[in-house]
Amino acid sequence: MKYSLEHAKKTYHLWGRHPLWYKIACTVTFLGQESKLRKLMVEKLELKQGDTVLDLACGTGLNFQFLENAVGSNGKIIAFDYSNEMLTAAKQRAKENNWDNIDFIQGDAAQLSLNTKIDGALSSLGISAIPQHKEALKKAVDALKNNRKISILDAQLPLGFWSIFNPLIAYVYKHWASWDYTKNIPEDLRQLISNTKTKRYNGKTIYIAYGTKSAP
Ligand SMILES: C[S@@+](CC[C@H](N)C(=O)[O-])C[C@H]1O[C@@H](n2cnc3c(N)ncnc32)[C@H](O)[C@@H]1O
């Protein structure tokens, strides 16, 4: 079930070279509710103008417009991803929109090391694709200032009637998105942040798990 970093690299090499296809795949994954759900995930962070926020496994930068609205041009986005091709597409998006307050970092999220403390951290459809996802979550929480928030959006297999399609969905997303649906990401986040809450959307196929880092 678990895919290697090499698999993620190969998979996203392809998507990064075809950002329009990737966008279409996202529209399908979010069942047409993409903007609404990305915006909700960002709202959970309660960011202020001037804040610094981490977009972990940022992909082609589909969260940027919501993050830019939240932190403003005097704030900063740290866009972190393993795939050079996804980052190239993200940089192109930033250039086209004149967003010059984004720092792009290539690396493995499990080895994340930032030279600044951050005011918020999020990841959308990223943690499920990161092979060592627990380490990545821990590093993101470590980088967060006390009393600030982390918000994780991810997908899960449908329940009820639609679960008849689960073998197909699991196969497609495993092979084409390095998706590991067996991870219990809300629980893994709760191990780090005990006040984690989880809200589910789109017939429970998308969830947002979020919480506040408490002072020790
Ligand atoms: C499904 S995409 C999500 C992209 C973006 N967050 C979004 O919402 O569209 C998964 C992303 O995780 C990245 N990724 C996978 N493993 C990673 C790792 N170990 N460290 C950093 N990024 C990783 C991939 O390169 C890819 O861009």
Distance 57 CA to ligand 1 centre (A): 4
Could you report the per-residue pLDDT of 89-139, keeping only the tens digit for each? 999 999 999 999 999 999 999 999 999 999 999 999 999 999 999 999 999
Beta-carbon count within 10 A of 199 CB: 14
Ligand 1 near 85 CB (within 6 A)? no
| CA gap 178, 23 in Å, rounded | 17
**E-state strands within the chain:** 52-56, 76-81, 102-106, 118-124, 144-155, 197-201, 206-212
Ligand 1 near 54 CB (within 6 A)? no
Q: Is 71 exposed, middle or buried (0-12, 13-18, 19+ CB in 10 A)?
A: buried
Q: What's the first-to-final CA gap in the chain, in angstroms?
A: 36
Distance 216 CA to ligand 1 centre (A): 30
Cα angle: 121, vertex 35, 49; to 5 degrees: 45
Mean pLDDT computed over 50-57: 98
Mutate to test the pocket of ligand 1, among 125, 137, 173 (most ligand atoms within 8 A of CB): 125
User: Phi first, then psi: what are they for 105, rounded to 5°?
Assistant: -130, 130
Could you report the per-residue pLDDT of 134-169, keeping only the tens digit for each? 999 999 999 999 999 999 999 998 888 888 888 888
Q: Report pLDDT for 185.
A: 98
- The answer, yes or no, to whether residue 17 has pLDDT greater than 60, is yes
Ligand 1 near 81 CB (within 6 A)? yes
Ligand 1 near 8 CB (within 6 A)? yes
Mean pLDDT computed over 54-76: 98
Residues comprising the chain, all counted: 216
Distance 130 CA to ligand 1 centre (A): 7
In the chain, the domains with their CATH numbers are 5-210 (3.40.50.150)
